[in-house]
Amino acid sequence: MDGLKPTFVRRSWSPLPDKNSESSAVHMSVPEKVELPLQDLPGDSFEVLVSMGEYVRGGQKIGTMGIHPQYLAVHTPCAGRVSAIEQRVHESGGERRVLAVEITAILDQECEPAMPFSQFRGDWLMFLRDMGVPLDYEALKTARALIVNCTEFEPTISTRSAIIKSHADAFAGGLQRLIDATGLGEVTLLVRAAESGLRERLDAIANRVRGVRVKAVPHAYPDTLQPLLSFRQRLNGTPAPAVILGPGQILGIYEALEMGQPCIRHLVSVAGSAVPSPHNIWVYVGTPLADILRSAGVSFPLAGRVALGGPMMGGPRYSLDAGIGKRVRGLYAATGLLLDDERKSRFYKSCACVRCGKCIDVCPAGIMPISIAEQVKFYDLTKAQEFGLLSCLECGLCVFVCPSQLPLVEMIKLGKLQTKGRESLLIYNIFKTLSS
Partner 1 sequence: MAENKIIVASTPYLRNGETAHCLMFDALLAAIPAALFAVYYFGIRALAIMLVGMLSAALTEAVIQILFKCRAFSYRDFLFSFMTREEITVMDGSAVLTGLLLALTLPPTVSLWIPVVGAVFGIVVAKHLFGGLGYNIFNPALAARAFLLAAWPGSMTVWQNPAVQGAASAVDAVSSATPLGVLALGNQTTPLVQLMLGTTGGSLGETSALALLLGAAYLLYKRTITWHAPAGYLGTMVVVCLLSGHDPLFNLLAGGLMLGAFFMATDPVTTPLAPVGRIIFGCGAGIITMLIRLYGAYPEGVCYAILIMNSLTPLIDKFTSRTFKPDGIDVPLVEKIIKK
CA angle 34, 37, 41 (to 5 degrees): 155
Query: For residues 217 and 149, what is the distance between their CA atoms, to the nearest angstrom?
Result: 11
Least distance from partner 1 to the Cβ atom of residue 76, Å:
27
Query: For residues 182 and 170, what is the distance between their CA atoms, to the nearest angstrom?
Result: 18
Alpha-carbon distance values, 185 to 98, 204, 242, 384 (Å): 40, 19, 11, 37
Nearer CB in complex with partner 1: 169/341: 341
What is the 8-class DSSP label of residue 18?
Answer: P
Q: For the beta carbon of residue 8, count every other beta carbon within 10 angstroms.
A: 4
Least distance from partner 1 to the Cβ atom of residue 95, Å:
17
Nearer CB in complex with partner 1: 56/146: 146
Nearer CB in complex with partner 1: 28/147: 147
Least distance from partner 1 to the Cβ atom of residue 178, Å:
18
DSSP calls for 178-199: HHHHH--SEEEEEEETT-HHHH
Nearer CB in complex with partner 1: 177/358: 358
| Residue 232 backbone phi and psi in degrees, to 5 | -65, -40
Nearer CB in complex with partner 1: 80/309: 309
| Residue 408 backbone phi and psi in degrees, to 5 | -65, -45
Least distance from partner 1 to the Cβ atom of residue 279, Å:
20
For residue 122, is it left (φ>0), alpha (ψ between -120 and 50) or beta?
Answer: left
Nearer CB in complex with partner 1: 60/424: 424
Least distance from partner 1 to the Cβ atom of residue 57, Å:
33
